[in-house]
């Protein structure tokens, strides 16, 4: 590990990191209300201006495979949303729901399982507004469900290498296969998901007393709008504007009669935001020769097929970043129209935030402070003793929230594995899996601990209706006890199933 840098570099690097941390936690501070993304870029610029890190090293610190994977999974997630995947998940959440407590349990289970396959960030992007609508429809508070969504997404994502960026880093560096990784963490993930759900129920038991969904036609239409990726405001405007409704009806008749294929039309075809929606003028002739229903069925089926192929490729050990990018491009090409609406769905601000964070944290690492912490604690962090595992877990929890989980994995991975290699070969695999589990669950400790938390917070704050501001402190109140308990319960289960 590197030694502590000269005092001026330590001070300036710590100052730049402090600016980044402050703006990430409090994006609207009165003296500098520029937001999290600009705050990450400011931290990166300060690291370079203060000569904590060189410009070349700053560019090199940006992890392009991780950014590529995040970009591609957002594109694939958008197409799956257009193909109805997350609409079906939403219907599963709402189907015969027996009140607030039952709904909370469903949110936890569905989010955790979906995050393991489609990444925690993607699930949080597409499910946040829908969960808010479900809660509002039942007169339930939003906070318990937002916490359930964020924390369950993090816990569920721990089970696979594609669940989150830090697991991707670990899979690359450790050479652990997809299936070995999955079965090694699965017992801990299932136990953690159950414990987290029980803790949410205990903390918000009284708040989850709510009336069942009223099920009026207007409410059902608004819920369908959310499921299909449209704003509920579009439904409200149609209800209040007969002219607009007549216009839509006329457009439906034109679509049904103008092309000679009046059958097979449903609500999804009127969704301008759906990536799989029909756009006849931009379609190739062979598309137009098929019935409207068959074209739509083909595009949806193709989205499901290539996504399954992507998961199979992961299991076969192919490069996950380029596999995801290839899948995304295949969906764009087969859709056979201008890809700009599709690419507009990508959260570029999140990619920019990650880029700035990589540079900022890399500069902070060059101060030597994280390395000094590890040098001091390493003798007490041997994984062949309960006390050593406890110390190591506390270090990972601390650094994951101070320096973010991805840089923590980059910083500690090789050192932890090298220490475990002096014990046994199996200890090396368990050390990597332990690092994946603790660094992922550590994301639930605070709002800053995970990108999934930030996504839920921002999506909830910007929701067209039922907007809710999930504050840093309201998250910490539940996040701290949940993280400590879930981490402790999962650690003994890591690596118990060998594949």
pLDDT in tens, 267-326: 344 443 444 444 434 455 555 555 667 777 888 888 889 988 988 887 787 887 888 899
Closest CA to 10 of 364, 357, 358: 364
pLDDT of residue 263: 37
As given in the structure block, the two tokens for residue 25 are: 């936690």
3-class secondary structure, 228: coil
For residues 404 and 74, the model is more confident at: 74
pLDDT of residue 462: 73
> What count of other Cβ atoms lies within 10 Å of the Cβ of residue 206?
6
Mean pLDDT across the chain: 78
Low-confidence winner among 252-256, 330-334, 471-475 (lowest mean pLDDT): 252-256
DSSP state of 216: -
Q: Are 196 and 152 in contact (CB under 8 A)?
A: yes
Could you give the C-alpha distances from 485 to 64, 112, 187, 443, 481, in angstroms and in order?
34, 17, 15, 13, 6
pLDDT of residue 403: 65
pLDDT confidence of 90, banded at 50, 70, 90? low
Tell me, rounded to whole angstroms, the distance of Cα 479 from its chain centroid.
Answer: 17
Residue with tokens 């209300």: 33
% of the chain residues with pLDDT over 70: 79
DSSP state of 497: S
pLDDT of residue 341: 82
Residue with tokens 């709904």: 103
As given in the structure block, the two tokens for residue 294 are: 């068959």
pLDDT of residue 50: 93
Closest CA to 15 of 52, 57, 54: 52
Element (H, E) at 297: helix 292-315
| Half-sphere exposure in the Cβ direction for 132 (13 Å, CA) | 25
Q: Are 12 and 19 in contact (CB under 8 A)?
A: no
Handedness of CA 140, 146, 151, 157 (dihedral sign): positive
Q: Find the largest Cα–Cα distance for the chain.
A: 76
For residues 11 and 218, the model is more confident at: 11
Crossing angle between the packed helical segments 178-203 and 292-315, to the nearest 10 degrees: 110
Q: Are 347 and 353 in contact (CB under 8 A)?
A: no
Predicted TM-score (pTM) of this structure: 0.70
Low-confidence winner among 243-247, 361-365, 391-395, 486-490 (lowest mean pLDDT): 243-247
Measured at the CA of 347, the angle between CA 345 and CA 349, to 5 degrees, comes to 145
For residues 442 and 425, the model is more confident at: 442
pLDDT of residue 385: 85
Average pLDDT estimate for 80-97: 72
pLDDT confidence of 498, banded at 50, 70, 90? low
Report the distance separating Cα 119 and Cα 163, nearest Å: 4
pLDDT confidence of 220, banded at 50, 70, 90? very low
pLDDT of residue 231: 43
pLDDT confidence of 457, banded at 50, 70, 90? confident
Tell me, rounded to whole angstroms, the distance of Cα 148 from its chain centroid.
Answer: 13
């Amino acid at each position: 590990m590197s030694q502590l840098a000269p005092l001026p570099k330590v001070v300036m690097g710590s100052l730049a990191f402090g600016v980044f941390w402050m703006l990430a936690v409090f994006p609207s501070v009165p003296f500098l209300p520029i937001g999290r993304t600009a705050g990450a870029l400011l931290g990166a610029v300060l690291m370079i201006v203060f000569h904590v890190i060189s410009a070349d090293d700053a560019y090199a610190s940006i992890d392009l495979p991780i950014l590529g994977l995040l970009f591609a999974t957002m594109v694939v997630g958008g197409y799956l949303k257009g193909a109805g995947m997350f609409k079906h998940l939403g219907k599963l959440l709402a189907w015969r729901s027996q009140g607030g407590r039952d709904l909370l349990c469903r949110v936890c289970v569905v989010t955790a399982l979906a995050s393991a396959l489609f990444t925690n960030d993607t699930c949080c992007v597409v499910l946040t507004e829908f969960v808010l609508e479900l809660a509002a429809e039942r007169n339930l508070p939003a906070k318990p469900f937002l916490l359930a969504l964020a924390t369950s997404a993090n816990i569920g994502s721990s089970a696979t290498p594609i669940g989150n960026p830090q697991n991707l880093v670990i899979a690359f560096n450790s050479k652990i296969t997809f299936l070995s990784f999955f079965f090694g963490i699965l017992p801990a993930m299932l136990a953690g998901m159950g414990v987290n759900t029980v803790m949410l129920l205990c903390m918000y038991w009284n708040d989850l007393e709510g009336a069942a969904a009223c099920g009026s036609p207007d409410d059902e239409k608004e819920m369908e709008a959310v499921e299909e990726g449209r704003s509920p405001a579009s439904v409200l405007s149609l209800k209040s504007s007969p002219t607009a409704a007549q216009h839509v009806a006329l457009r439906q008749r034109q679509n049904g009669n103008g092309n000679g294929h009046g059958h097979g039309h449903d609500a999804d075809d009127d969704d301008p935001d759906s990536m799989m929606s029909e756009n006849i003028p931009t379609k190739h002739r062979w598309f137009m020769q098929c019935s409207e229903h068959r074209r739509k069925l083909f595009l949806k089926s193709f989205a499901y097929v290539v996504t399954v192929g992507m998961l199979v490729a992961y299991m076969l050990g192919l490069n996950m970043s380029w596999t995801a990018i290839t899948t995304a491009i295949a969906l764009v090409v087969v859709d056979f129209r201008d890809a700009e609406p599709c690419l507009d769905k990508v959260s570029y601000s999140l990619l920019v935030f990650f880029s700035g964070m990589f540079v900022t944290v890399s500069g902070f690492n060059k101060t030597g402070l994280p390395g000094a912490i590890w040098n001091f604690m390493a003798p007490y962090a041997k994984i062949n003793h309960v006390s050593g595992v406890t110390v190591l877990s506390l270090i990972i929890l601390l650094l994951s929230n101070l320096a973010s989980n991805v840089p923590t994995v980059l910083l500690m991975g090789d050192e932890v594995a090298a220490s475990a290699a002096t014990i046994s070969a199996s200890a090396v695999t368990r050390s990597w899996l332990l690092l994946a589990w603790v660094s992922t669950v550590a994301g639930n400790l605070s709002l800053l601990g995970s990108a999934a938390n930030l996504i839920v917070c921002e999506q909830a704050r910007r929701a067209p209706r039922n907007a809710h501001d999930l504050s840093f402190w309201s998250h910490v109140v539940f996040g701290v006890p949940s993280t400590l308990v879930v981490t402790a319960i999962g650690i003994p289960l890591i690596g118990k199933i060998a594949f």
